Chains A and B, each alone.
Chain A
Amino acid sequence: SAVISQKPSRDICQRGTSLTIQCQVDSQVTMMFWYRQQPGQSLTLIATANQGSEATYESGFVIDKFPISRPNLTFSTLTVSNMSPEDSSIYLCSVDSAQTNYGYTFGSGTRLTVV
């Protein structure tokens, strides 16, 4: 199955600033998915990133707040912009490891704390 390297693993940021999270996959994948997991909650899909086109955002998430880049088939970034304490969450990327067991692979997550 695919292996994902997600960076940074954690960060503490000042409100009003921005943080860019990177996901690198060891194989080419069609779609990359970005999730948010608020404290004590389940995972919520933020957006789907397709190489060469603008990301597709879920209801409640907008590009100005969570801009996404997908420059090639193995890499994507998610930026959390103009952060507030409510953005404190774990952010995860995911891809479909369709080549093997049909399971989706997830990065280890970025634990963001906004102060």
Chain B
Amino acid sequence: DAKTTQPPSMDCAEGRAANLPCNHSTISGNEYVYWYRQIHSQGPQYIIHGLKNNETNEMASLIITEDRKSSTLILPHATLRDTAVYYCIVSIRDTGRRALTFGSGTRLQVQP
């Protein structure tokens, strides 16, 4: 799986958009970009994933650059409950046979 690079930590004001960047310059054509988050002492939670196109769901938006070498996770209106470690993971889609490889992630602190 391609390696990802994320800033170790970020702060965001409550109610503002949180933009979390991720570099994956060695991504290959069949690798997806996944985002997960881990709130303290809980198991990681799926947020969103994408291949080429930008994606949006009820939790977040994922913006992938045209060359696919980087992406940004956007939490449009961050709340205190969004304080967590956010993991950007690049992996092929192998119908449940392939584990995810976690990097060090970005620790997002939402400030009141």
Identify the A interface with B (CB < 8 A): 1, 4, 6, 29-31, 33, 35, 42-45, 48, 90, 92, 94-98, 101-109, 111
Contact = CB atoms under 8 A, between A and B. Distances in A.
A104 B91 CA distance: 12
Contacts of A95: 96
B90 to A, nearest CB: 14
Main secondary structure of the interface of A (DSSP, over half): strand
A106 B101 contact: no
Given A42-B87, A42-B105, A105 B95 contact: no
B77 interface: no
Main secondary structure of the interface of B (DSSP, over half): loop
B28 interface: no
B49 interface: yes
A13 B34 CA distance: 35
Interface in B59-106: 87, 93, 95-97, 99-105
Of the candidates B44, B46, B99, B105, the one having the most CB atoms from chain A within 10 angstroms of its own CB is B99
Contacts of B101: 45
A90 B40 CA distance: 12
B103 A104 contact: no
A1 B105 CA distance: 24
Contacts of B36: 103-104
B43 interface: yes
Nearest to A33: B99
